[in-house]
Amino acid sequence: MIKRSLSLLVLLCGLLWSDAQSAERQVAQSLVRTIEMKYLLYLPPAYDSSEEKWPLLLFLHGAGERGDDLELVKVHGPPKMIAQGRDFPFVVVSPQCPKDEWWAMDALHDLLNEIVETYSIDTARIYVTGLSMGGYATWGLACTYPERFAAVIPICGGGDPEKASSMKEVPTWVFHGAKDEAVPLQQSQKDRDPMHPDITGLSVANIEMEAGDLLIFNSLLAHGVRPNRSKDRIRMAQYISMHPAEENNEVERRERIRLWREQDHPQRDAFPGDPREWERNHAETATLTELGEKLLGLKSWY
């Protein structure tokens, strides 16, 4: 991993205007602003021996890693994994925000310009992710420069709902812990309307599936277990959580097994189920593989 420092001179030109109408009373002026930003740069092992264009990942750290010591940036995320010996098939840029400051969208944009101009980067595959303060900046960049990113992955951050429509065509994968005490989960949730997404300019595609097919989808897309309103058909699919049951939580484990065995639904507002209990009366309990039994909690991992 290479340590770099970015210094840019931003020239702003203007005119001083007096009360007089004469053009000669306007005096040309200029303002020079210097942007300094330290960052870690990772190039894939095959970078020097290849002429291909490489994807770029911009990683933005949280408030605790601000300062002038780049070693702090290696505490979390991709920089940590790279420091531990992990290789990636893409370029990774991990800047450091100065102490007591906040991520500046224009400075990050300038950094991306510098990287694209200096290295062999595929501009159609630029991604940004960040956590906490970096999660906020990830939302901010996506809203300010939506055309720049192939996808964004904000982690435990939040954004401005008024600007969210500007990034409606940017694929987004959001992560946020329900018990986050530093940044409330609502900061991620309120930036979207999961039940009524804005699909202006987009088309809806029907996905045809056969029995046993696995559909992996972004959970931020509108979805849910809504009532089965067909006359004589069972639901097309059953939801199976890929989050393993907690073996030390006996109550939860038993409830998961009961829901599977009795073809019932979780007793929560988002899962109203079918008041006719059509699936329970007309379908068989799903057969689980060994992995499914362990995920459900039916069998132990140990």
Domain boundary among 163, 189, 215: 189
Same domain, 79 and 128: yes
Same domain, 283 and 160: no
Least confident of 2-11, 45-54, 268-277: 2-11
Same domain, 172 and 229: no
Same domain, 175 and 228: no
Of the candidates 148, 151, 164, 224, the one whose C-alpha atom is nearest the C-alpha of residue 198 is 164
Domain that holds residue 280: 224-302
d(CA 124, CA 112): 13
67 phi-psi bin (left φ>0, alpha ψ -120 to 50, beta other) = left
Of the candidates 285, 284, 302, 286, the one whose C-alpha atom is nearest the C-alpha of residue 294 is 302
d(CA 87, CA 85): 6
Mean of pLDDT values over 85-112? 92
Q: How does pLDDT run across 58-85, given as a tens digit for each residue?
A: 999 988 889 889 999 998 899 999 999 9
Same domain, 18 and 119: yes
Same domain, 139 and 236: no
Which residues fall within 8 angstroms of residue 166, CB to CB, at 6 or more apart? Answer: 143, 144, 146
Instruction: Check residues 110 and 227 and name the one with the higher pLDDT.
Output: 110
Count of structural domains, the chain: 2
Residue 63 placed within a domain = yes
Of the candidates 165, 171, 140, 166, the one whose C-alpha atom is nearest the C-alpha of residue 153 is 171
d(CA 24, CA 16): 11
Q: Is 298 exposed, middle or buried (0-12, 13-18, 19+ CB in 10 A)?
A: middle
d(CA 77, CA 72): 11
Contact 164, 141 (CB under 8 A): no
Same domain, 149 and 104: yes
Q: Is the pLDDT of residue 207 over 80?
A: no
Q: Which residue has tokens 């990772």?
A: 42
Same domain, 230 and 176: no
Residue 9 placed within a domain = yes
Residue 197 placed within a domain = no
Residue 101 placed within a domain = yes
What is the pairing mode between strands 121-131 and 91-96? unpaired
Residue 76: CA count within 13 A, CB half-sphere: 18
Report residue 46's pLDDT band, with 50, 70 and 90 as the boundaries. very high
Residue 204 placed within a domain = no
Residue 216 placed within a domain = no
Q: How does pLDDT run across 140-177, given as a tens digit for each residue?
A: 999 999 999 999 998 887 766 667 778 888 888 887 55
d(CA 95, CA 170): 23
Residue 143 placed within a domain = yes
Same domain, 283 and 175: no
Same domain, 151 and 84: yes
d(CA 285, CA 273): 16
Same domain, 114 and 244: no
Same domain, 170 and 262: no
CB atoms within 10 A of CB 16: 9
Residue 218 placed within a domain = no
Domain boundary among 172, 189, 206: 189
Contact 80, 113 (CB under 8 A): no
Contact 136, 158 (CB under 8 A): yes
Q: Which two tokens stand for residue 150?
A: 């192939």
Domain boundary among 171, 189, 207: 189
CA distances from 240 to 149, 252, 265 (A): 32, 15, 11
Output the domain CATH number for residue 172: 3.40.50.1820
Q: How does pLDDT run across 251-301, given as a tens digit for each residue?
A: 888 888 888 888 877 765 555 566 677 777 877 888 888 888 888 888 888
Mean of pLDDT values over 193-205? 61
